[in-house]
């Protein structure tokens, strides 16, 4: 059974304007909710800082100052800040609500991105950060969790997605509140710039370094350093150069490696001056990649050239003797002009002077076949024509096709590499769950293996997402209806259990079992414990009250009272020292409560001090060690203790006075 997490903000009205609906995420510095701005009737994101930060007045002052600066940042790729204030002592920001996923969510689902998608996302990130740099704001915590992506409907192509960067200045506000403290670095170690580790300084080039690490992760599906303690990972950025992405993804272009190396240089002076300069480098690299792709496999266009004209006289003149025989132009033949009568006869009758009526084509064919060389030429031409027709038919019917290879069972990287080597274009459809095939392995292909396919054709592959598993969402603090819908959406069986709860209103979730974050297959029963509101009986305070009166009051409320006894030097005997249920606890009829009742101070045994030759001082010390005080009733100078009261061995409360009489 997991520990319940009550969220009293759900359903509350912040600043008389923002109605909190659901909790979206909880991070290291703040919790993010969705809320409805009841004044403007729009959905917003409400980020409330954790109490641990809000207790520092320096942080509150710096947070307010940074919030005003961030609110002035206006850019399509920056999450807009609408409002700032305090709710019950906790600073909050009201921001634009982006309906989408974080870059971290996309990398978790897809492992890594293509260079086109990665550069498309990076350009919008840099556009946002460049706008902040121009305004004098440094982000200081660039990472996939702070990049929100709204994908275009009906496609997973990130080239058309809208990218927005969040949390400008928040890390600076938190760290500034600790300037006089222990000097700890506030950053995400996987993306931290070396200068932040060594001396804590940062400038726009520090954001450029973090952007370079994000690009590396988008391309490879991992960060450069992730093995070891956080401080060890941070110092890896200082001591080691970031490896080239092609080390992990061999088919990446060199331009991509150069881009990552430029952004993640350990020497800040070797990096672009700010995000704007980095954006220019990314656009230059992207243009180069597109140009290379457009020229790959194509014939270059021949340039237009100026040539000399040939006049009519030269055209009919004999070839120059210097011109080789094979290149001489044939001399023009002057056609005989038919006699006028013959022209008229041909025009009127359509036949020659012999009146045979034979067509020119038939005359040419007869003359051709009458010559031995002509017949050979004709039959050779027919053979060549038949061969060309046969080869053309073979090419379009069979020659340009090959057999589709079997790619089922290969990993995504193996299938992509195979397609690149053999000239196929590999595309991936929507991945599917498969209980037997590992995640990232090809489940099916189209065309199937052994089918005919163009030599440079497209093979559509479907990857496995592994066994169908879903993490149990965090439902504590949300309404049961929402929790039930979310659990049903991931194919879980919902079982509701209603209990009383002092903190949550009726109908809101207290906890789930299995607990939030547990990864389970479909069909698992999830027990959702739901609040029925406060219990009908409120436990009163009975501490320091007389036990009999307290017992009577609790019994009249319907509680079962049990008694426990304990000695006390501060609470009188018969009075209640403590109760098992705190005051104000809501309980139901028949609930047991234990009252601990004082028996007064603890008892002690009076020691023997008479007739043992003790002086008063000696007897007083022995009695004090036993928890009593000595009183000299009758003094006899130089005498010994002859009598005492209470007598030795008597059980009395500690602290009781023991009277002694002195005698000779």
The three-state DSSP-derived secondary structure of 382-440 is HHHHHHHHHHHHHHHHHHCEEECCCCCCCEHHHHHHHHHHHCCEEEECCCECCCCCCCC
Within the chain, all domains assigned CATH 1.10.510.10 are found at 101-293
Distance between CA atoms of residues 292 and 297, nearest Å: 10
d(CA 147, CA 77): 10
* Nearest residue to 168 (alpha-carbon basis) of 250, 235, 72, 284: 72
Report the alpha-carbon distance of residue 366 to residue 597 in Å, rounded: 138
Res. 231: pLDDT tops 60: yes
Residue of 377, 381, 351, 345 lying closest to 363 (CA atoms): 351
For the domain spanning 13-96, the CATH number is 3.30.200.20
The number of residues making up the chain comes to 664
Q: Specify the pairing of strand 493-499 against strand 525-531.
A: parallel
Quick one: tokens of 52? Answer: 């641990």
Mean pLDDT of 457-478: 90
Residues 6+ apart with CB under 8 A from 382: none
Of 37, 83, 105, 141, catalytic? 141
Would you state the pLDDT for residue 358?
55
- Range(s) of the chain covered by CATH 3.30.200.20: 13-96
537-598: what fold? Trypsin Inhibitor V; Chain A (3.30.10)
Q: For 273-301, how does the pLDDT look when each residue is reduced to its tens digit (9 = 90+)? A: 999 999 999 998 888 887 766 555 443 34
Query: What is the C-alpha separation between 316 and 308, in angstroms, rounded?
Result: 16
Give how far Cα 254 sits from Cα of 250, 259, 326, Å: 10, 9, 50
In the chain, what is the greatest distance between 2 CA atoms, to the nearest angstrom?
190
Residue 356 in tokens: 């045979």
Task: Identify the pLDDT of residue 30.
Answer: 82
Nearest to 663 by CA among 629, 637, 630, 631: 637
Where does the pLDDT of residue 462 fall: very low under 50, low under 70, confident under 90, or very high at 90 and above?
very high
Mean pLDDT for the chain overall: 81
The percent of residues above 70 in pLDDT, for the chain, comes to: 82
Count the neighbouring beta carbons within 10 Å of the beta carbon of residue 113: 22
Lowest-confidence pick of 21-30, 108-117, 136-145, 173-182:
173-182
pLDDT for residue 335 is more than 50: no
pLDDT bucket at 397, cuts 50 / 70 / 90: low
Per cent of the chain over pLDDT 90 is 38
In this predicted structure, the answer to whether residue 217 has a pLDDT above a threshold of 90 is yes
Confidence of residue 303 (pLDDT cuts 50, 70, 90): very low
Q: Does 344 have pLDDT greater than 60?
A: no
Considering the four listed CATH numbers 3.40.605.10, 3.30.10.20, 3.50.50.60, 3.30.70.1290, the one that applies to the domain covering 470-531 is: 3.30.10.20
| pLDDT tens digit sequence for 468-493 | 888 999 999 899 999 999 999 999 99
Kindly state the average pLDDT of the residues 582-599: 90
Whether residue 247 is predicted with pLDDT greater than 80 in this model: the reply is yes
141 is catalytic: yes
Among residues 567, 577, 568, 524, which one has the least CA distance to residue 547? 577
C-beta of residue 384 within 8 angstroms of C-beta of residue 392? no
> How does residue 372 score in pLDDT terms, banded at 50, 70 and 90?
low
Helix (H, G, I), strand (E, B) or coil at 476: coil
Q: Quick one: fold of 101-293? A: Transferase(Phosphotransferase); domain 1 (1.10.510)
Q: 10 Å Cβ neighbour count for 575?
A: 19
pLDDT at 177 over 60: no
- Interatomic CA distance for residues 200 and 140, integer angstroms: 11
- Given this model, what pLDDT does residue 448 score? 87
Q: Identify the three-state secondary structure at position 585.
A: coil
pLDDT at 130: 93
Q: Are strands 90-96 and 452-454 parallel, antiparallel or unpaired?
A: unpaired
pLDDT at 223 over 90: yes
What pLDDT score was predicted for residue 55? 75
Is 90 exceeded by the pLDDT of residue 509?
Answer: yes
What pLDDT is attached to residue 172?
A: 58
pLDDT score of 523 more than 50? yes
Collapsing DSSP to helix, strand or coil, 654 comes out as coil
pLDDT of residue 43: 94
Which of 46-60, 393-407, 436-450, 521-535 comes out lowest in average pLDDT?
393-407
Q: Which two tokens stand for residue 268?
A: 């800040």
Q: From CA 318, how far away is CA 472, in angstroms rounded? A: 93
* Residue in the block written with tokens 């928040």: 170
- Kindly state the tokens that stand for 210: 């973090």
Locate CATH 3.30.10.20 in the chain. 403-463, 470-531, 537-598, 603-663
Structurally, at CATH architecture level, domain 403-463 sits in: 2-Layer Sandwich (3.30)
What pLDDT is recorded for position 72? 82
Instruction: Identify the weakest region by mean pLDDT among 132-141, 345-354, 399-408, 607-616.
Output: 345-354
d(CA 210, CA 37): 34
Q: Identify the pLDDT of residue 265.
A: 94
Q: Please state the rounded mean pLDDT for residues 19-27.
A: 87
> What stretches of 135-203 show up as alpha helix (H) in DSSP?
170-176, 194-198
Least trusted range by pLDDT, from 254-263, 449-458, 623-632? 449-458
| Model pLDDT, residue 26 | 82
Domain 603-663: assigned CATH number? 3.30.10.20
């Amino acid at each position: 059974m997991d520990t319940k997490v009550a969220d009293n903000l759900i359903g509350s009205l912040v600043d008389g304007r923002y109605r909190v609906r659901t909790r979206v995420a909880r991070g290291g510095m703040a919790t993010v909710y969705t809320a409805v701005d009841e004044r403007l009737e729009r959905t917003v994101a409400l980020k409330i800082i954790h109490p641990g930060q809000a207790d520092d007045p320096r942080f509150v002052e710096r947070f307010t100052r940074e919030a005003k600066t961030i609110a002035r940042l206006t850019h399509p790729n920056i999450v807009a800040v609408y409002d700032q204030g305090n709710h019950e002592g906790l600073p909050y920001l009201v921001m634009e609500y982006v309906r989408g996923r974080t870059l971290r969510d996309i990398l978790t689902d897809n492992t890594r991105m293509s260079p086109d998608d990665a550069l498309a996302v990076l350009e919008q990130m840099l556009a946002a950060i460049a706008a902040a740099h121009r305004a004098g704001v440094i982000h200081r915590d660039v990472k996939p969790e702070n990049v929100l992506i709204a994908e275009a409907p009906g496609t997973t192509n990130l080239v058309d997605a809208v990218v927005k960067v969040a949390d400008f200045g928040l890390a600076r506000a938190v760290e500034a509140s600790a300037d006089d403290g222990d000097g700890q670095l506030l950053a995400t170690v996987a993306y931290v710039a070396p200068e932040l580790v060594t001396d804590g300084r940062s400038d726009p080039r520090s954001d450029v370094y973090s952007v370079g690490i994000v690009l590396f992760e988008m391309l490879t599906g991992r960060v450069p350093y992730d093995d070891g303690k956080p401080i060890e990972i941070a110092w890896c950025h200082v001591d080691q150069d970031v490896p080239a992405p092609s080390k992990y993804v061999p088919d990446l272009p060199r331009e991509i490696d150069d881009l990552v190396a430029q952004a993640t240089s350990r020497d800040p002076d070797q990096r672009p001056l700010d995000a704007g300069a980095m954006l220019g480098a990314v656009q230059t690299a992207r243009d180069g990649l597109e140009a290379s792709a457009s020229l790959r496999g194509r014939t270059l266009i021949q340039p237009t050239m100026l040539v000399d004209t040939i006049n009519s006289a030269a055209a009919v003149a004999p070839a120059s003797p210097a011109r080789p025989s094979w290149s001489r132009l044939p001399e023009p033949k002057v056609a005989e002009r038919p006699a006028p009568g013959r022209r008229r006869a041909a025009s009127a009758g359509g036949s020659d002077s012999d009146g045979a009526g034979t067509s020119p084509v038939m005359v040419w064919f007869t003359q051709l076949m009458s010559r031995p060389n002509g017949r050979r030429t004709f039959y050779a031409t027919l053979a060549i024509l038949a061969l060309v027709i046969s080869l053309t038919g073979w090419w379009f019917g069979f020659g340009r096709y090959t057999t589709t290879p079997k790619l089922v069972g290969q990993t995504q990287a193996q299938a992509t590499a195979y397609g690149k080597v053999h000239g196929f274009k590999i595309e991936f459809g929507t991945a599917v769950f498969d209980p037997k095939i590992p995640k990232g392995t090809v489940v099916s292909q189209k065309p199937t293996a052994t089918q005919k396919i163009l030599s440079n054709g497209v093979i559509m592959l479907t990857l496995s997402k592994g066994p169908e598993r879903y993490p149990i969402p965090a439902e504590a603090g949300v309404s049961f209806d929402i929790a039930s819908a979310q659990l049903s959406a991931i194919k879980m069986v919902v079982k509701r259990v209603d209990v009383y709860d002092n903190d949550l209103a009726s109908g809101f979730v207290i906890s789930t079992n299995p607990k939030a974050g547990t990864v389970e297959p479909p069909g698992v029963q999830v027990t959702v414990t739901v609040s029925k509101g406060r219990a009908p009986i409120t436990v009163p305070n009975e501490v320091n009250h007389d036990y009999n009166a307290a017992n009577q009051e609790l019994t009249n409320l319907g509680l079962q009272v049990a008694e426990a006894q304990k000695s006390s030097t501060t609470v009188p005997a018969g009075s209640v020292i403590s109760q098992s249920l705190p005051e104000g606890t809501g309980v139901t009829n028949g609930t047991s409560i234990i009252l601990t009742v004082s028996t007064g101070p603890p008892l002690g045994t009076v020691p023997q001090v008479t007739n043992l030759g003790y002086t008063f001082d000696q007897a007083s010390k022995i009695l004090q060690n036993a928890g009593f005080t000595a009183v000299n009733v009758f003094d006899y100078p130089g005498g010994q203790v002859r009598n005492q009261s209470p007598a030795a061995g008597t059980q009395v409360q500690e602290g009781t006075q023991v009277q002694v009489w002195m005698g000779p």
